[in-house]
Structure formats: structure tokens, C-alpha cells
Structure 1
Amino acid sequence: MPDYDGVVSGVILYKYLSKFTDNLELKYTERSQGHTSNNIIHQIDDDTDLYIAVDSSSNDVAPLKYLADKGIDCLVIDHHTIQEHNPYAIIVNPQLEECQYPNKDASGGLLVYKVCKVLDDYLGTEYADEYIDLAGFAVAADMMDMRNMENRYYYKNALINIHHKGMKMLFKEMGKDPKNLYGLDFAFGVSPAITAATRADNIKLAIDFLLCDDEMKLKKYVKELVKLNERRKEIQAEAIDRLKPNIDEADKVIILYDPTIGKGYNGLVSQDISKLYSRPVIVLGDGEEVNVYAGSFRGLENEFSMMELLQNCKFAHYGAGHDGAGGTAVYSHEIDKLRHELNAKLANWKPDNSLYYDLEIDCRDVTEELINDIQEFYRVSGRNFTPGKFKIINLFVADKKLIGKSNNTVKIDCDNIIAMKFKTDEEYYNSVPVFCSIEAIGTLNINTWIQYKPRYKVNKYLQLFLEDYIVAN
């Protein structure tokens, strides 16, 4: 359970089963140890009756055979791609070929919640819905397809009906109103903060936070999560700056090696670089075996499955996870061979650097009412249903500032709209013209904050989260 979805899966099941017995234990491995049962089976006592693996282990034939041979029953509740026949466990996974469950894009947390609902039906209880909000957030955190109506239902329910006291506190700490949440509030705030603990190999903090009901302890956990999230941002920014000079834009798939980033951050760095260069990215570190590099990939799901591509590569040891996000490994002396192999397989594919937008709007027509309508339409957003992008014309740049702890955010004052460019640098800041008109593409939102001194006041301004701009003719 090394990520948000895995932690939530474990927490939901533990809380639910605790309603019936105290004869259970919540076991876990840190993110750097991997996403399988291999590193945990030796923690399982011989007198255990039932071992339940969540958000993993569908393909863990050997470790589950090890437990089954000891007489321990095994249950797997998972949603990852199945590559191995596993006869040593009862497997609940919509990816099973014979499974008729229609939602093939359910997250691990949602599936655990559904299993608990079935148990409620059998036992005549009503406990599962106490955790329905955690299940909905798990769908979004694990980037499940938001065109799927069941996923949308549970995510929207989570956004408008939070039960978890700690989640409410964390949203407030990040300046969001728990009574009026949008998908981006979770995706770019709370989700990364909780996952930051798992990426720092402090999964216990994430578990303790989600299990806790004590207000004083929750305040402490929230502060720790926010602090870890800030450090996570710094690590990402530093890694990208360090890796940029090593990128060959002629490659169809960017492959980078840096053993200092850490297993918990390889995927995030891959994702950021993939967005910058509009192509798949693999970021590798040192693997567990000598002369093996292992790490994470991020692909372009709307164009092809990066996971399947790696599975068909001679020099990639494996491709695991999801179509657009997962892990792989390669021998250190064969990294260039893998690069050439990927370039050859994608010889006819061209990265699309185009910027697309949904509608052109004159800046004078952008109002608080318009943005509220847009935000309501895109309240439930995520993979394959992203917030609308708009081309805003007749913007006049009056001023600009370089802000943020790492000086990686550019704030552009365009009279009635403030344009914000995140995860950038001083070079981008210097390129932004002042005292001229621009046309810009991005997502619209409203920044709201409360001023308490010298008197109480609610402040608002219209924002454009900037993708890019051109100087108007």
C-alpha cells in the first residue's frame, strides 16, 4: 500500500473489519520497498487465518503460494493489470478476463469499499458508507478515468459530503472550503500532501492521519503533511533543473538516470518532464539487483499504452502498473539499447506540442459569475475529463513578479485577471513582456482568501492558470 490509493484501501478495510473483531493487524511496506506482497509475507504470523492484500498482488504468485502452503487463506482486492495466473488466492479484480463488473477503471479504494458493501448486505449492517468519501477520493488520487459514471458519482459524493475529520482539516489548512470543493482542490492540494508522506517513506504518518479521530493529534498530522508536501515540491523542482541538460529532444521516449531522486519521486519527475516535452518519460534510479536500473514511467494514454510498449521491448525487464503510469527496469549497460529500441518502435510517431483550448473569450467578458459557472461544470474533473482550457484575448500585461520559495512561479498582472505560471523558472519570467497585449491559454478560477486585520474582509480575484501565451499583433 505505498501510495494514496493503497493507504486508503488498507485503512477502509481495517476500520470496517474493526467493527467486528480486534484480532487483525494492518501491515504495510514503504514505497521504496515496492508495490507487492514479496516484502511483507515474512511479517505474517504462522497462525494467521486470512491474509488480505489490497491495491496490489494480483500477479504475486510465489509469495501467495508461500502463504497458502502454510495453510493461510489469501484474498486479493486489486485493480492493476493481470499478467499471471494466480491460483493461490481469491482475487477481486475487474481486470480478470472472466470478471463482468462493468467499471474496469475502479481504484483499489473503491473496490475495497464495494467489498465492504457486499459484507454489509450479507451481515445486515451499514458500516461501509462511513468510508464512502475516502473511496471517492481514492478514485481521483489514482487517476482513474473520469468519463466513467461510477467514478464520477463517487468522486462528486466525496467532494460534497466529506465525513473524515482529518480530511476537512487538511483542506482548510490549504485554504479550501470543505463545503465548496472542486476536483482541482483535491488533485493539486490534499492528494499530493498525503502522498508526500508515502513518497518520503513515512507511510505510517499517512495511515495514522487517516485512522485518527482525535482533533489534537489530527492538527499535528496536518502540519506534518503540509511540511512534507512543501519538501516534495522542492525535490521535484531541483530534480527537473538537474535533469534538463541531459534531455535529448530527438528521443521519442526520454530516458533519464539519477540515483539521488529516490524511488518515491521518480514518477512525479517523469510526469513533470512528460508535460514539458509532450512525450513519454522514464526516470530510473538504482534497482535492487546489481547493474540494474529501475524506476517509473509516465506515458500519453490518449495516444498509446506505454506499459504495453515496454512489455514488448526486448531490453525492458517489464512494464507494470497502468497504461500511462507505472514502473520498469533495464540493465545498466543496456539503457542505450532500450532507448534505440523505443525510438525504432515509435519511428512513425510524432510528439504533439500543440496547445488546445475549448473556447476563446475576451478578457472583458471574464467575470466571477462566468468562472463560477465554468467551475461548476468541471467540479468533478480528472483523467480524461480535465478542466476546460480557454484562450483569453486582449489581456494587457501591467506587471509581473517571480514568487514562491523556489522562485518557480510567475505572477502576471493583467488588470482584471491575474495569470499564474507554475513550475517554471527565471528564464520564463524574463521572457514575459510588460506593457503590451497578449493572448493566453489556461484554466480559469477564482482565488479567495480572508483578511482578518485591520478588519474582516473576503478578498477575491480572477485567475488564469497559464499554459502559455503569445504577444498579440
Structure 2
Amino acid sequence: MKDHWRYTDPDPELVRSFSEFFSIDETMAGLLAARGVTSIHEAHEYLNPRISSLESPFRMKGMYEAVARIRRAVESAETIGIFADSDIDGLTSLAILIRLLEKIGHRVMPPPRRYPAGDDDYGLTREVADGLAAEGVTLLVTLDSGIRDIEEIRYAKSSGMDVIVCDHHEQGGELPDAIIVNPKQKGCPYPFKELAGVGVAFRLCHAVLASYLQRHNRTYLVCAAEGPGVYSTMVRNRIAEETRFHATPGEMAAAGLPPFDEAFVFGSPEEVERIRGLFPGTVVRDLIETERGSRDAAPGAGRGSMDICDSPLAHALALYNAHEYASSSKLAAFLESVTDLVALGTIADIVPLRGENRTLVSAGLEAFSTTTHRGLQVLKNMSWPPGSRDTGKKAPQPLRAKHVAWNIAPLLNTPGRFGQGRLTADFFLETDEARLAAVIADIMKLNEERRVLLTGLCDDFRARVEQGKFLAGESLIFVDEGEIPDGMCGLVASRLADAFGKAVITISGRVRNGLVKGSGRVNGSFNFFERVEPHGALFERLGGHAQAFGFSARPDSLPEIRDRIARSLGGFRESEALRGLHIDAELSLDAVTAKLVRDLALFEPYGHMSEEPLFLTRNVEVDFRSFGGKGTHGKFLFPHNPGIEAVGWGMAERMKEAAGGPIDLVYRLELNEYGGRSNPRMLIVDFDARARP
């Protein structure tokens, strides 16, 4: 086993508890543990993601103020302007907010909207603000942008606009003078910080719609009986306050509880009746009875299922949240109708696919199957896995996250990379089928140009890096030559980071208004942006995420930017922590079955920081065959297990040298469906022939 392979046996007690509770085999239970799941409750949430389990959107700092300002603008028929980033994350946010304004009857439609186009700089500009002011905008909402546009927002406000910043990027040292909705802003109590821009926009829309419900801003008592005692908490807008314990129900009634509108009780029928009797004249609901028939099933609606949650009160709150979600069919219907857009924007922005992102993407991929958006219907049908479309014999497979990431997202991100974000915006907003077909054709043509251009650029720069060009110390590749279009800088940087395991900065070859644009990328979990941000004074604009950011700068500042960042990176390079293979489970060859591969669907969707499981099989005898037009691909065959094959794309030469003796294999799994048969197939990630004696 190679030094950079990482595998740790999971806790056997945890594996056993998962296996017994969920009636899954120990391989599946071990994979749950390998993904950092540490309790029955976490496992249930992982295996059963539900929209109702999302945190209250009102936990996000600034949400109450943003909702109030949007409602005032709608009720006063003000002109609401929208500025969105030109990538998919920004433009799906735009589409969702426009749908919301239509839903709540905003009379000034369509709203004026802008996004970077042509030679526009990153983010909001004075020119954009001037254009919106000329259209009479009095409320500007920025989507997937704005958190660092300090001067531009100050200028917009001087033009008579109020501003709501709905963003997910890292804040700088100063915040704009605006209502800010961003889970990453300092002091925001919203616990999940990794939402994409469209995820934050989704939460904003959720909050606006929830504010129209009769239950908004009312207070509810939620309590759970445990033995002779009762745990209780007050809940307002799905935010639970301090938990109290009362030795008896009578003590709870005598405790001087704050006023509340209704009570929800989790307990036996007798316990519910006992508590109901303490509050005559108040509606007291049995949470078990309330939950039955809910459209969004909470964990274990049965009275004996408390083991799923960490405490009886946590179980009561989960049931209450499911009830709240189901209590308005119109709210739930709207949220579910836009989850396809939320999933697309989230996958495209390559945010970690865990926590609330996993919940949103799971719901969105399911919604893709019944989407009414004509453009998404067309692209969905173009993006099924090979061989999975209906041939009259079987239904197509569900759309998976990787097919969105590999097919749909790159296609729709292409126009923005060429300064033509209008095409992607039209894709999301156009309702005329003929015009939509023309838009899709234009996008596909641009995408083919992108693919050819990207391949040429990356081949050229890769060769030059191998010759020693563009190296800034041991840790940084700094590409400041060549004609890279602005929108291609990030793609080129990503490809070079993949190839060389270093931090990469690429600079566009075009100078406009005395500035050049650039992008920084790094693989893994290393926080590149954290090393760059202290040098922010060298940039005109700088913003982004830990592993991906963009900037604009003066050409004469580039040498100092390169030197300072190279020094700040220190000895960072292709470290074991960054590039190591983290193995999820060790399998014998006999355990590799078609059933196992099918069972892995439990762990969908896969994505950034939630990749497909990696498996290790040790000390296996293999035979070798090459295939492909030039024999560049290889197969390992197992003499004692003829139903399995292991494929190594582009690995034929290495595999031929290793054939014959025992080797250790690291691989992913898929089903090879051919001739009416389904056999497991290993997709080789790495192997080690050093296992031989």
C-alpha cells in the first residue's frame, strides 16, 4: 500500500449500530462512518435528506430586514432592480428571485436586471448603478455578489437606491452600507456556512413567502414528555429558544411561561391529554397525529422511534418543523418548483456537497425528472448516461449530480466566460419555445469553441510549466503570458492545479481601463484565498472562496503580487494532506457485486468534498489486456473472479508492467451493463505492485 493512501478502519461499534438500526449491511454502514457520520440521527438525516430539515431562514443575519424591505417595495409598487453574477450560480439566483416576485404579485415586471457582460469588470459598477437608477430602481438586490462592492454600493445609495446584498462570498475588512444576507458575514448565527449563492437566494425567497403566512411571527410551545418530566421550548419562525426542563407537567404550567399561540406535544396519548388539560382554551396538538400524512416525512413518526434523534425534544422539534413545512401547500409547492435551479447552481459553483447543500441538491435532482422548464427538459435529455435513455424496454436512469456537473453546468457557464451572460439569462427566463431553441443553439456553438480553445491553452501552458516556465518558488504557478480570455482564466488555472498539485494564478492577456483580470485556484482543502487576502491592497478588486477566487489588478503590480503570494505560500506544494487518496472501505474481490454497486445509490449525490467512495482490494492476482485505438487503455482481469474487470483509462503502459503478480488496487465502482447483463466494474484510480514479495 502506497504511503499517500489513507485508510482507517471505522469504529466497529458505530458500524454495528448503523447496520442494525437501518437494516443495511456492514459495508454500507462502514461507508456512513467513513463520511464522518457519528450518530443515528446524523445517519438518518444523511440517508433521508428533507427540505423541512433545513434551518429556519430567519436565523440568517439581516433576513428580517431584507424581507421587510422587499415586502415594502412590492406593496408600494416600487421598481426592484436585480444585479446578478454572470455564472450559473448568479443567474439561477436571478431566475428564482424573478419567480418569487411574480408569485407575490409584484406589479413592476419584468424587473430591471443586469449582469456582467462584454468587457465589464467583476461585480457591481457605477455604470450598472447609473443604468438601474435611470430605470427608476429604488431597491437593488445583488445576487451572488456585492459583499465587497463597498464604493459601488455607496454610489448606488447616493443615487436613491436601497440595497440588499444576497451573497455567499467571503467578506472583506469593511462591509457595504446595505442590508446583508450572507451566512459568512461575521456574527451570522446561521450554522451552515457553505451555501452557494443560489442557496442563499433560495433561503431569502423562502423567508419572503413564509412572512405572508398567518403563522409568521407567532409563538408556539413545543414540548416532549420524558418519564414524569417535560422538556419545553418556545419556537418563533421555526427558531427554538432556550430549552427548559420541568419535573412534572404541572410544574411547567406553573412556571410562568411566556405567552404562546398554540402548543405541540410529543409523547404518549395520555401525556398529550395531561398537558392539554393544563392549558384550557389553547390549541394543543399531538405531534404524532399532526405528522401523519405529512408531505415531508420527519424522522420516525411513530411514538417508539425517539432513538433517531438525540433527545425527545429534538425529535419533537423535527416533527414540528415537518408540520410547519407541510402547513402551507403553496409555500412547499413554490420551494419544490425551484429546487431544480438550486441544484444546478449549487453543483455548478462546486461548493462542498454536504449538509444543506446535499439536501438541496437531492431535492433538485429529483425535481429534474418532472421539471416544467423547457430548456432544462432539453438539456436533461441530452445529459443522460450513455445507454440509459428509454429504448422501449426500460425507463431512463435518474439524473445524477456528476452528469449535471460534466454536461449541463459547463454548457450553461460558457456564455458568461465569453462576456455573453445574457444568453444564459435568456435560457433561464425565456418562455417562447422558438426563441429558447435559438438560445440553446447559440450556447452550444459557443461551448464547442470553448472546448477547443481550452484544450489548446492547457496543452500549451502544461508543456511550458514542464519546461520550468511560470514557476514562482516551489508552491506557485503564475501564468502572466498569453492571450487567455477573461472568462477562461479560472478553467485554465483549475486544469493546471490538477496537473501539477500546486496553487495556480492565471492572468488574462487583455488590458482594459488600465487593468487585467485573473483567477486563483488550488485543489483539495487548502485555503489559498486566506494566504492572498492579506495582500489585498495590491489588487483593485479581490473576492471569492477558499480554493477559488477572482481579481483585477494593474499590470505593473503583477510582479509584486507574484512575489508576495509565493512567499506567503511557504512550503505548500503537493502535500499528502492535499493529494492523498482517502479510501472509504477495504473489500475482498468476492464482496464486489452488482448488488453492492446498486446499493451505493444511498450515498448519492456525489460532488465536491463528497466524492464517490474509494475502495481498496489488496494482494490480488491479475491478467492484463490493452484496448482502445492505440492501446492506451488497460484492463485487469481476475482469473478467480471472471465476472469482474478493472479498467484503467490511459494507464495501459503502467498496468502492463504490473500484470502477473499480486497488486493492491484503489478504485471506484460502476455497473457495466451489456447484453442484458449487469456486472461490477472497477474504475482504477491507483495501484501498487510493490505488494509483491
Scaled to the shorter chain, the TM-score interval is 0.7 to 0.9
Corresponding position of 1:309: 531
Q: Which moved more, 1:264-273 or 1:244-253?
A: 244-253
Cα pair 2:632 2:653 within 8 Å, conserved: no
Conserved? CA contact 1:239–1:269, under 8 Å: yes
C-alpha spacing 1:411/1:224, structure 2 compared with 1 (3 Å): farther
- Of the three residues 149, 152, 173, the one matched with 1:60 is 149
Residue matched to 1:170: 379
Alignment CA distance shift 1:194-1:439 (3 Å): farther
Structure 1: gaps spanning 5 or more residues: 404-408, 450-456
1:441 is the counterpart of 2:528: no
Percent pairwise identity:
21
Q: Summarize the alignment of residues 266-277 of structure 1 with structure 2, pairs less than 5 Å apart.
A: 266-277=489-500
Distance in structure 2 (CA, Å) of the matches to 1:34 and 1:290: 9
- Tell me, what secondary structure is at the counterpart of 1:264? helix
Task: Trace 1:100-179 onto structure 2 (pairs within 5 A).
Answer: 100-124=189-213, 126=331, 127-147=334-354, 149-162=355-368, 163-165=371-373, 166-176=375-385
The alpha-carbon deviation at position 153 of structure 1 amounts to: 0.9
Q: Is the 8 A contact 1:257 1:283 kept in 2?
A: yes
1:10 aligns with 2:232: no
Q: Please list, as runs of the form range in 1=range in 2, the aligned pairs for 1:367-446 lying within 5 A after superposition.
A: 367-374=593-600, 376-391=601-616, 393-401=620-628, 411-415=633-637, 416-417=644-645, 419=647, 421=649, 433=656, 436-437=659-660, 440-446=665-671
Alpha-carbon offset, residue 282 of structure 1: 1.1
**Distance change >3 Å, CA 268–CA 25, structure 1 → 2:** same
Contact 1:316 1:329 in 2 (8 A): no
Change (3 A) 1:345 1:62: closer
Q: Where in structure 2 are there 5+ consecutive unaligned residues?
A: 1-84, 214-329, 389-395, 638-643
Which of 512, 519, 524 does residue 296 from structure 1 map onto? 519
> Which residue number in structure 2 is paired with residue 246 of structure 1?
464
Where do 1:282-361 residues align within 5 Å? 282-286=505-509, 288=511, 293-300=516-523, 302-303=525-526, 305-313=527-535, 316-317=538-539, 319-328=542-551, 332=555, 335=558, 337-352=560-575, 353-361=579-587
CA drift at 1:200:
3.0
| Bigger mean CA deviation after superposition, 195-204 or 346-355 | 346-355
Deviations 1:380-436 (A, max 9, x none): 222222211234554533122259xxxxx9543445436253xx7xxx666663893
Q: Secondary structure at the match of 1:234?
A: helix
Map 1:164-203 → 2, pairs under 5 A? 164-165=372-373, 166-176=375-385, 180-203=398-421
CA distance in 1, matches of 2:415, 2:673: 28
Match of 2:120 in 1: 33
Native 8 Å contact 1:2 1:35 kept in 2: no
8 Å CA contact 1:310–1:319 kept in 2: the answer is no
Q: CA deviation at 1:171?
A: 2.3
Deviates more, 1:240-249 or 1:222-231: 222-231
Q: CA deviation at 1:170?
A: 1.2
> Which AA in structure 2 matches 1:381?
Y
Find the aligned partners of 2:158 and 2:554 in 1 and give their Cα distance: 33
Which segment is superposed worse, 459-468 or 96-105?
Answer: 459-468
Q: Measure, in 2, the Cα distance between the counterparts of 1:50 and 1:340.
A: 42
**Pair 1:171–1:366, CA change in 2 (3 A):** farther
State the distance in 1 between where 2:179 and 2:435 align: 37
Distance 1:330 1:28 in 2: 21
2:418 corresponds to 1:211: no
Is the contact made by 1:274 and 1:299 (CA closer than 8 Å) also made in structure 2? yes
Instruction: Select the structure of larger CA radius of gyration.
Output: 2
Greater alpha carbon shift after TM alignment, 85-94 vs 151-160: 85-94
3-state DSSP class of the match of 2:519?
strand
Distance in 2 (CA, whole Å) between partners of 1:413 and 1:104 is: 43
2: CA distance, partners of 1:434 / 1:364:
25
Q: Tell me if the contact between 2:483 and 2:510 (Cα under 8 Å) persists in the aligned partners.
A: no
Q: 1:92 to 1:222 in 2, by over 3 A?
A: same
Deviations 1:36-85 (A, max 9, x none): 11152232143222222111012212222222112122222111111153
More divergent stretch after superposition (174-183 vs 214-223): 214-223
Distance in 1, matches of 2:159 and 2:537, equals 37
TM-score (norm 2): 0.59
Name which of structure 1's ranges 458-467 and 196-205 shifts more when overlaid on structure 2: 458-467
Q: Secondary structure at the match of 2:628?
A: strand
Counterpart residue identity of residue 120, structure 2: Q
Paired with 2:682 and 2:613, the residues of 1 have a C-alpha distance of 11
Which SS does the other structure have where 1:44 is aligned?
helix
1:379 is displaced (CA, Å) by 0.7
Cα distance change of structure 1 residues 202 and 362 upon mapping to structure 2, 3 Å threshold: farther
Q: Report SS of the residue matched to 2:530.
A: helix
Structure 1: which amino acid aligns with 2:132?
A: I
Q: 1:391 to 1:229 in 2, by over 3 A?
A: farther
Report whether the alignment pairs 1:78 with 2:300: no
Alpha-carbon shift at residue 23 of structure 1 (Å): 5.0
Q: Structure 2: how far apart are the matches of 1:360 and 1:279? A: 30
Q: Determine helix, strand or coil for the equivalent of 2:365.
A: helix
Deviations 1:85-144 (A, max 9, x none): 345322211122132222211111111121112221233463444212212332222122
Deviations 1:10-36 (A, max 9, x none): 111122213323252222222763431
1:397 partner letter: F
1:240-298 CA deviation, whole Å, 9 max, x = no partner? 21002332476211111244221212111211221222221111123645775531111
Q: Sort the Cα spacing of 1:289 and 1:130 in 2 relative to 1 into closer, same or farther, 3 A.
A: same
Aligned length: 453
Q: Distance in 1 between matches of 2:176 and 2:559?
A: 38
